[in-house]
Amino acid sequence: MLMTPGPTALPPSVREAAGEELLNPDVDPAFADRYDALKRKLGRIYGTDDEVVVLGGEGILGLEAAVASTVAPGDRVCCLSNGPYGDGFADLVEAYGGEATLVDANYDDPLPLDALERTLDGEDFDLVTMVHCETPTGTLNDLDAALDRVAAHDVLTVVDAVSSLGGTPVPTDRIDIAIGASQKCFSAPPGLAVCSVSDAAWERIEARDPDPLYTNLLPWHEAEQPYPYTHLSTLVVALEAALDLLLEAGLDTVYERHREAALVCRERGRNLGLEPFPDPERSSPTVTAFAVPGRATALQERLRVDHDVTLSTGLGGLEDDVLRVGHMGYNAEVEKVEQTMDALAAVLD
């Protein structure tokens, strides 16, 4: 049982789609139709009229492309963070020549919104970055509260919604670039990054005219063909099948499944003496990170070897302190969570 917070297990229809006859994305008109349909379906899941682009590369490519395309050398970027992915945005910004100001909190605290407001009041920024679900700590950040503080300032917003999009509502229409990935709540294979890009963001990207690198979003917008390079056609077809499942079930039903799975996971954890790493109020409906100081790798190994259940440990200094159950996408099922927690109970025993 693959119960990690991405990649998730694949539904049978997604595995079938991945086994379809290959379409040549450059010459087969059927591929162009599939790609169009995929973008429309993504728009429905994002809940936006903004253009959505699908990049051939895993989630990190989406984060890097957002930064590479919007940040010119010397640009000032405010990186709001309470976790490893939030911190990582500052590193990316610096790598592309921007000046990053990290406004951060401890990994088990909420986003530092007062500090954000003071920072934005103090100087002009071009961009603000933040993370919706900090997967390594199981924290779901209050994006609306953060975006409220940003609203009075003339800045673009870039949000990593990789492990929330498709599992819980994301306020995409308040975000200039919102990034998702195929292998998290969509339950498609890893390999595609998806970005919604607002008109304001396209204007900035066009003005900045980024270097002609794979990370440049502009060719995905301008090209006569909406994909400038040979697309990862097998993954595109598989992602479309995965989105069909979400849309057929209905997004409200899907979000409710995530909430229920998360509640059961935490309830069972509490009965085993395990508490979520962040305050339960801030725990994400897509992933639970249990605090197990100094025991995470040993527990992970026993679960895998003795029970054939695969979980993740922590990241960013929490490698042995946090054990993570992914209840996202196809795995947002109470029954699967019960089975996982049965195995964890046996191991703890």
What is the binding site for ligand PLP (CB under 6 A)? 6, 58-60, 85, 131, 133, 135, 160, 162-163, 181, 184
**Rounded Cα distance, 287 and 138, in Å:** 5
Q: Which residue lies nearer to ligand PLP by CB, 216 or 284?
A: 284
Report the nearest approach of ligand PLP to the CB of residue 83 (Å). Answer: 8
State the chain's maximal CA–CA distance in angstroms. 61
Q: Which residue lies nearer to ligand PLP by CB, 7 or 269?
A: 7
Q: Which residue lies nearer to ligand PLP by CB, 136 or 269?
A: 136
Report the nearest approach of ligand PLP to the CB of residue 5 (Å). Answer: 7
**Rounded Cα distance, 36 and 54, in Å:** 11
Q: Which residue lies nearer to ligand PLP by CB, 261 or 343?
A: 261
**For 145, how many CA atoms within 13 A lie in the half-sphere containing its CB?**
11
Token code pair at residue 105: 């909190």
Q: Which residues contact 83 (CB under 8 A, 6 or more apart)?
A: 107, 131, 134, 136, 137, 139, 316
Q: Which residues pair with 53 in a beta bridge?
A: 195
Give long-range contacts, CB 8 A cutoff, 24+ apart: 32-38. 32/225, 32/226, 34/236, 34/237, 34/240, 35/226, 35/227, 35/231, 35/236, 36/226, 37/240, 38/236, 38/239, 38/240, 38/243
250 exposure class (CB count in 10 Å sphere: 0-12, 13-18, 19+): exposed
Residues 309 and 341: beta-carbon distance below 8 Å: no
Report the nearest approach of ligand PLP to the CB of residue 58 (Å). Answer: 4
Q: Which residue lies nearer to ligand PLP by CB, 318 or 347?
A: 318
Helix (H, G, I), strand (E, B) or coil at 257: helix
Q: Which residue lies nearer to ligand PLP by CB, 191 or 269?
A: 191
Report the nearest approach of ligand PLP to the CB of residue 260 (Å). Answer: 21
Question: Closest by alpha carbon to 247, among 37, 20, 2?
Answer: 37
Question: Closest by alpha carbon to 156, among 120, 182, 132?
Answer: 120
Report the nearest approach of ligand PLP to the CB of residue 107 (Å). Answer: 13
C-beta nearest to ligand PLP: residue? 59
Residues 77 and 93: beta-carbon distance below 8 Å: yes
Report the nearest approach of ligand PLP to the CB of residue 153 (Å). Answer: 24
Q: Which residue lies nearer to ligand PLP by CB, 85 or 107?
A: 85
Q: Which residue lies nearer to ligand PLP by CB, 52 or 185?
A: 185
